[in-house]
């Protein structure tokens, strides 16, 4: 009888301690996630998966394994990283094919790390456009975690399921749920090893392969390009609800005749891009010449389960609008830019 009483006491004590631990965990906020991603020093093995079409009307999951080294630039407060492909689950690649895939992955590493999954781009906008709903407490990689849902206040945008480290609030698992309620991508940490911030002198952090300049003002970026062609820029009233201008980037490669203006917009979580390429050659797609204008132009549309790209080419300027598939405002913005480009 005494043994049974002792077991009951221990069981009640365990429940009480667990409850206290849950209460002691700081609530997950957009600010805490933003801070965690910019102040974590670690080496991470992670698996990036996406639901994609198989080309025959069906869908399948494709995955890659990556190593990610994270650091923080104390002077600027910006995150630093190195992201590399290390394998394709379920496949054994010959060395030449593996190197080809590594090179392709390296050319997209910056986009994948900064925009390829859930990230908080602007805390105030994220709080305005999304809400965090606590779900439960779990454990991952031997660490206590908090599982939360991030739900948009706007129709047509993805929701996210996150499992964050209870101590740091770094997301150990991220799942994107489309507006149709289907999980379309995941990013899962398989191993995470803290690193010492001190010995970083030999680390070659990721940098853009082309010379990029960053601007907080669109007009300053356009002036820096010095192009003769007329730029057609989005105006605030055209942007999808909740989106704001974040930054402009210029890319001038002296070895190529064209130059690029990249405009980045965010609602705090989702990102949208408007890319204008000046001096671009006419793409190999059908060219249209409407009756009400003498300007022939080309159109191209690409869409998968979570990304939409709309391109038009008018004269020597090519414009691409990139956003989430479920965001109707991306289409409206591209249509307005095309109309103004044609002088309608």
Lowest mean pLDDT among 34-43, 141-150, 278-287, 292-301: 292-301
Cβ atoms of 148 and 136 within 8 Å: the answer is no
Q: How confident is the model at residue 281 (pLDDT cuts 50, 70, 90)?
A: confident
Q: In this structure, are 165 and 71 located in the same domain? A: yes
**Which residues are within 8 A (CB) of 230 and not within 5 positions of it... i.e. 6 or more apart?**
317
Domain-located, residue 106 = yes
Domain-located, residue 117 = yes
Domain holding 224: CATH number? Answer: 3.30.200.100
Q: Does pLDDT of 15 surpass 50? A: no
Q: How confident is the model at residue 190 (pLDDT cuts 50, 70, 90)?
A: very high
Q: Where are the beta strands (DSSP E) in 6-142?
A: 42-53, 59-72, 79-87, 130-140
For the chain, the domain total comes to 2
List the domain range (segments joined by +) for residue 218: 212-341
d(CA 10, CA 142): 22
Domain-located, residue 65 = yes
Q: In this structure, are 226 and 135 located in the same domain? A: no
Domain-located, residue 20 = no
Q: In this structure, are 173 and 41 located in the same domain? A: yes
- Tokens 């709309």 locate to 310
Q: In this structure, are 240 and 296 located in the same domain? A: yes
Q: Does pLDDT of 121 surpass 50? A: yes
d(CA 81, CA 87): 19
Q: In this structure, are 183 and 218 located in the same domain? A: no
What residues does 247 pair with on adjacent strands?
264
Q: Does pLDDT of 246 surpass 90? A: yes
The mean pLDDT value of the chain amounts to: 85
d(CA 304, CA 331): 14
Higher pLDDT, 152 or 54: 152
Q: How confident is the model at residue 17 (pLDDT cuts 50, 70, 90)?
A: very low
What residues does 260 pair with on adjacent strands?
251, 277
Q: In this structure, are 172 and 245 located in the same domain? A: no
Tokens matching residue 54: 């198989």
pLDDT digit string, tens, across residues 75-117: 666 678 999 999 999 988 899 999 999 999 999 999 999 999 9
Q: In this structure, are 69 and 171 located in the same domain? A: yes
Residue 287, φ and ψ in degrees, nearest 5: -100, 135
What pTM was computed for the model? 0.84
Higher pLDDT, 258 or 110: 110
Q: In this structure, are 103 and 154 located in the same domain? A: yes
Tokens matching residue 213: 């300049």
Predicted local distance difference test score (pLDDT) of residue 83 = 96
State which of 160, 194, 228 marks the end of a domain. 194
Domain-located, residue 225 = yes
Q: In this structure, are 50 and 168 located in the same domain? A: yes
Domain holding 136: CATH number? Answer: 2.50.20
**If you average pLDDT over residues 173-180, what whole number do you get?**
93
Domain-located, residue 44 = yes
Tokens matching residue 191: 């191993």
pLDDT digit string, tens, across residues 219-243: 899 888 887 667 788 988 889 999 9
pLDDT digit string, tens, across residues 43-72: 999 999 999 877 777 888 999 999 999 988
Q: In this structure, are 188 and 217 located in the same domain? A: no
Q: In this structure, are 271 and 220 located in the same domain? A: yes
Q: In this structure, are 234 and 143 located in the same domain? A: no
Domain-located, residue 160 = yes
CA 309 to centroid of chain Cα atoms: 15
Q: Does pLDDT of 19 surpass 50? A: no
Domain-located, residue 12 = no
Higher pLDDT, 301 or 107: 107
d(CA 212, CA 261): 10
């Amino acid at each position: 009888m005494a043994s049974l009483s002792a077991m009951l006491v221990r069981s009640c004590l365990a429940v009480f301690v667990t409850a206290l631990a849950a209460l002691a965990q700081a609530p997950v906020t957009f600010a805490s996630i933003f801070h965690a991603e910019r102040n974590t020093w670690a080496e991470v093995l992670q698996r990036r998966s996406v639901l994609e079409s198989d080309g025959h009307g069906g869908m399948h999951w494709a995955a890659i394994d990556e190593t990610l080294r994270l650091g923080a630039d104390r002077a600027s407060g910006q995150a630093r990283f190195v992201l590399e492909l290390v394998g394709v689950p379920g496949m054994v690649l010959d060395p030449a094919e593996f190197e080809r895939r590594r090179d392709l992955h390296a050319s997209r590493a910056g986009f994948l790390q900064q925009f390829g999954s859930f990230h908080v781009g602007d805390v105030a906008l994220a709080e305005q456009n999304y809400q965090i709903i606590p779900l439960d407490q779990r454990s991952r990689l031997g660490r206590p975690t908090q599982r939360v849902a991030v739900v948009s206040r706007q129709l047509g945008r993805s929701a996210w399921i996150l499992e964050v480290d209870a101590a740091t609030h770094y997301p150990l698992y991220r799942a994107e749920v489309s507006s149709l309620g289907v999980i379309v991508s995941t990013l899962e940490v398989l191993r995470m090893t803290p690193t010492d911030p001190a010995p970083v002198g030999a680390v070659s952090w990721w940098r853009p392969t082309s010379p990029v300049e960053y601007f907080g003002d669109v007009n300053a970026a356009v002036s820096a390009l010095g192009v003769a062609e007329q730029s057609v820029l989005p105006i605030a009233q055209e942007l999808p609800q909740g989106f704001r201008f974040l930054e402009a980037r210029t890319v001038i490669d002296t070895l190529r005749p064209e130059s690029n203006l990249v405009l980045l917009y965010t609602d705090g979580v989702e990102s949208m891009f408007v890319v204008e390429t000046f001096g671009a050659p006419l793409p190999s797609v059908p060219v249209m010449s409407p009756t009400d204008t003498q300007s022939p132009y080309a159109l191209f549309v690409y869409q998968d389960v979570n990304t939409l790209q709309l391109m038009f080419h008018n004269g020597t300027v090519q414009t691409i609008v990139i956003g989430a598939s479920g965001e109707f405002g991306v289409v409206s913005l591209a249509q307005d830019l095309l109309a103004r480009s044609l002088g309608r």
